[in-house]
Structure 1
Amino acid sequence: RPWRIAAGLCLGAAMGVKWSGLAFAVAFAAMSLLWDFGARRAVGLRHPYLGALSKDVPNGLVSFAAVPFVAYMATWTGWFATATGYGRNWDQATSSGPFYFVIDSARSWVQYQWQVFTFHNGLETSHPYMSEPWSWPLLLRPVAFHYQGRQNVCGGAKDCSEAVLGVGTPVIWFGALAALVALIAWYVSSRDWRAGAVLLAYAMGWLPWFYFAFAQNRTMFLFYAIPMVPFMVLAITLCAGWLIGPAGKTDDGRLPLRRTIGAAVVGAYALLALINFWWLHPVLSAELIPYAEWKARMLFDKRWI
């Protein structure tokens, strides 16, 4: 299963960036096993579940447990290789030798992980740009990373603005909401594995944060939703394919009316997304523009400011 090993490597790298990648690893491991169950049952094996438990589960543990762990540890290579990393020498050895060096390095690494966990687990400080997970799909509270007001430096306007706003393209985000609702109906009606896979991945990027919001009152921001974005785009892509319809031509060699209309709708949506991004680009890239133009790009007015 080389692709599952590749998936394990990617999941380990994801956890190296942010620990929330662990939720994806668990979900993808469970989904992979369910696919194995379904495949064995589909070919008519007498004991599909026992076969999967004895043959597929051990391989799954390698792909989705051992491989991600090795990949995660590989992201710490630079930290282990230097003596100047943060917390690198937390455990000061009283004895010398390779054995003590390895043990002390491991203990320092575990302490570092614990510090990271306790810091984020107790993060409850209020922040003007904090937001709750339920609001992320609606882009209600983006994060202003940079803003500077200047005067008489942007053409004929007196008041000028320079900003970097951490926000998604509304046409894509709101279109994804409609696509995800459509995928729920699609999966319930047909059990299509593609719809189920995208919905599960999106849920793993979003739902775990509700626990931290309600159980721990943790400080959170819209950019925590970034891992959801690829699956939002996949949801849009699946629905675009459904709108266009299957390939093929009519008996007289012409494209079916559905494909013509579907392609026009999907093309128009893609063009609208590009225009929307072009419109927002000045406030994503610190471009100096008149204050009135900056204000016009604040979709939800006070919530985006």
Structure 2
Amino acid sequence: MIERLTSERAARIASWAVPVAVTAVAAATRIIGVGGPHELIFDETYYVKDAWTLLHLGYEAQWGDDPNPAFESGATGGYTAEGSFVAHPPLGKWIIAIGMMIFGGDSTFGWRIMTALVGTALVPLLYVVAKRLTRSVPMAGIAALLLAIDPLAISMSRVALLDTHLAFFILLGFWFALIDRHETIERIRRGAVADRIAGPVVWRRPWLIAAGVSMGLASGVKWSGLYALAVLGIAVVVADAVDRRRAGVDRWVEAAIGRQGPASFVLLVPPAIVAYVVTWTGWLVTSGGYARDSKSNAFAALLEYHRQILQFHESVQSPHTYASPAWEWIPMLNPTLMYREASDGQVGLMAALPNPILWWVGVLVVVWFAVRLVVSVVRRTEIIGREAFVLVGVAATYIPWLALPKRTMFSFYAITLLPFVIVGVVIALQNMRRPVRPVLLDDPTEAEIAVATARATTATDARRTVASIAVVVFVVVGLFFLPYGTGLMEPEALYRAHLWLPSWFL
């Protein structure tokens, strides 16, 4: 009895201590020294100044010629009242503006602190997602730790860009969808008792509404959030069909599409639209924003502005040193270099490069999950839900980019994909740690049972050893590449030891 109580108490302590510890690691790697260097890094040249004008005018405004030197020196008043055309919605820049409002526009710490905080929050968010999928505090802790020390996640949290905010809202929406699925399954089971033909139409789905709001906010950061919304909507319908089939509903496909589908659409999409439009409030309630006077009606003008933004995105094909089409993200052939400094035989850089071993293993895991999914569909066996979750996340954050091969894109877009890859790796590790079942012939003797059991035990121990070694390797490599996330200066020889592919920053 005492041992059981002690074990339960230890489990409760671990359930709080693990996420707190990994969040502290994430905060340390993202916030300490986030104010340096004192210059606009990469696309901060757009988003920081846009955030500053949003804060003062309610919309993004134009600046004079070559405004960066003056802005970096603390002269932050070089903007005009004329609206500036921008390619992305304003929410991510509003979040950046909060830090500038608190610490001032001349503070590089103020430019970046909110992105650092959002990047830190992404780690415990991944923890709760992984815990719900694995039902294991240690496995969820491993997932969160791998994200906490990943150089891509760290570097994207230390510069005032938009993609970390996008990653947060997308993963948040997926977490809400997970909670919704758990509650909806029970309602479908109960409703199927009364209606075996089609099952119930479930309207009480507050977490699905929350998922819609989160996806709307993601789209309010970057339009690629719309991809995630569309994929998640399709996944909700498929999940409803699977759940109705498991509940014994006869017309489970027709019911999921024709009856529950419209209800799920209403619960998911309109909240997303409302949340998205709210992110444009500053532009709507002021009169100086770009294209604000293109129509007499503010919402009609907003639609006109969106038409112009869509035309811009359809034609983005400008060459760039670090441009990287989506297929290159798999081997990470051309990671985006954010910042580089060299002096006295020391080199420091910040780059959009994930932990390479973790990333490449994660790619293989995703491919394996996809193969298993195809086999399950062909054989009409049960689809494994948590593996499907990973595949849906990958489809939402990666597959759409493959359809745009000519568009200019960068490897740091993969920050939205990274949490799902990590979850996939952790699920694979947990699968490896499961006991191997003894292989027995019909009517085995006691000796045969003993031999088969011993072999299964040996195989189980070997698989668990491999899984443990893999975790150690992931952590060690993540720490080895930590300078690429933080910009830490290191001897040139050590810097060159990181150049595993010839295309990496030579």
- Give TM class, smaller chain: 0.7 to 0.9
* 2:374 partner SS: helix
Opposite residue 116 of structure 1, the aligned amino acid is: I
The alignment status of 1:127 with 2:283, answered yes or no, reads: no
Q: Does 1:210 align with 2:402?
A: yes
Q: Secondary structure at the match of 2:244?
A: helix
Amino acid at match of 2:221: V
Answer whether contact 2:231 2:396 (CA < 8 A) is retained.
yes
SS class of match (1:164): strand
Give the C-alpha shift of residue 232 in structure 1. Answer: 0.7
1:164 Cα deviation after fit: 1.1
Secondary structure of the 1:6 match is: helix
Taking a change above 3 Å as real, the CA distance of residues 281 and 46 of structure 1, as seen in their structure-2 partners, is closer
Is 1:220 equivalent to 2:414 in the alignment? no
Separation in structure 1 between the aligned mates of residue 465 and residue 287 of structure 2, nearest angstrom = 59
CA distance in 2, matches of 1:45, 1:176: 36
Q: Using the TM superposition, name which of 136-145 and 279-288 deviates more.
A: 279-288
Instruction: Note the residue ranges of structure 1 that are not aligned, 5 or more in a row.
Output: 94-102, 152-158
Letter in 1 for 2:428: C
Q: Secondary structure at the match of 1:304?
A: coil
Name the Cα RMSD after superposition: 2.7
1:8–1:65 Cα contact (<8 Å) kept: yes
Match of 1:295 in 2: 496
Choose from 267, 286, 289 the match for 2:487. 286
Correspondence for 2:430: 241
Shift of the 43–299 alpha-carbon distance from structure 1 to 2, 3 Å rule, reads same
Instruction: Please report the TM-score for the alignment, with normalisation by the length of structure 1.
Output: 0.82
What code does the residue aligned with 2:487 have? Answer: A
Counterpart of 1:155 in structure 2 is none
Match of 1:138, SS state, is coil
* Deviation at residue 205 of structure 1 after TM alignment: 1.9
Aligned residues: 280
Question: Aligned pair in 2 of structure 1 residues 279, 36: CA closer, same or farther (>3 Å)?
Answer: same
1:47 corresponds in structure 2 to 251
Output the TM-score relative to the length of structure 2. 0.51
> Displacement, 1:120?
1.9
Q: In the alignment, residue 110 of structure 1 is paired with which amino acid?
A: L
Task: Summarize the Cα distance change of 1:302–1:139 in structure 2 as closer, same or farther, 3 Å threshold.
Answer: closer
Query: How far apart are 1:163 and its partner, in Å?
Result: 1.2
Offset from partner CA, 1:19-50 (integer Å, 9 cap, x none)? 11222221221121122222223333333344
How much has 1:88 moved relative to structure 2? 6.6
Residues 19 and 247 of structure 1, relative CA distance in 2, 3 Å threshold: farther
DSSP-derived class of the 1:140 partner: coil
Does residue 146 (structure 1) correspond to residue 339 (structure 2)? The answer is yes
Q: Are residues 1:113 and 2:302 paired?
A: no
CA contact (8 A) 2:398 2:414 kept: yes
Deviations 1:233-281 (A, max 9, x none): 1211221121011699xx9xxx955554444322322221221121111
Offset of 1:128 from its aligned partner?
0.9
Equivalent positions of 1:246-285 (< 5 A) are 257=458, 259-285=460-486
Cα distance in 1, alignment partners of residues 398 and 413 from structure 2: 9
Letter in 2 for 1:59: A
- The aligned amino acid for 1:148 is E
Query: Does the Cα contact within 8 Å between 2:362 and 2:424 map onto a contact in 1?
Result: yes
In structure 2, the partner of 1:197 is: 389
Cα pair 2:435 2:457 within 8 Å, conserved: no
The change in CA–CA distance for 1:75 and 1:266 in structure 2 (over 3 A counts) is: farther
Tell me the CA shift for residue 83 of structure 1: 4.6
Segment of structure 1 superposing worse, 200-209 or 274-283: 200-209
| 3-state SS in 2 of match to 1:90 | coil
Structure 1 CA distance for aligned equivalents of residues 213 and 295 of structure 2: 32
1:136-156 Cα offsets, whole Å, 9 max, x none, are: 0111110111112222xxxxx
| Residue identity (%) | 25
1:175 to 361, 382, 402: 361
2:347 aligned counterpart, secondary structure: strand
Q: Which residue of 2 aligns with 1:187?
A: 373
Q: What residue ranges of structure 2 are gaps of 5+ in the alignment?
A: 1-204, 377-382, 438-449, 451-455
SS in 2 for 1:135: helix
Distance in 2 (alpha carbons) for counterparts of 1:257 and 1:32: 41
Distance 2:240 2:339 in 1: 48
Task: Tell me if structure 2 keeps the 8 A contact 1:140–1:304.
Answer: no
Which residue is 2:151 aligned to?
none
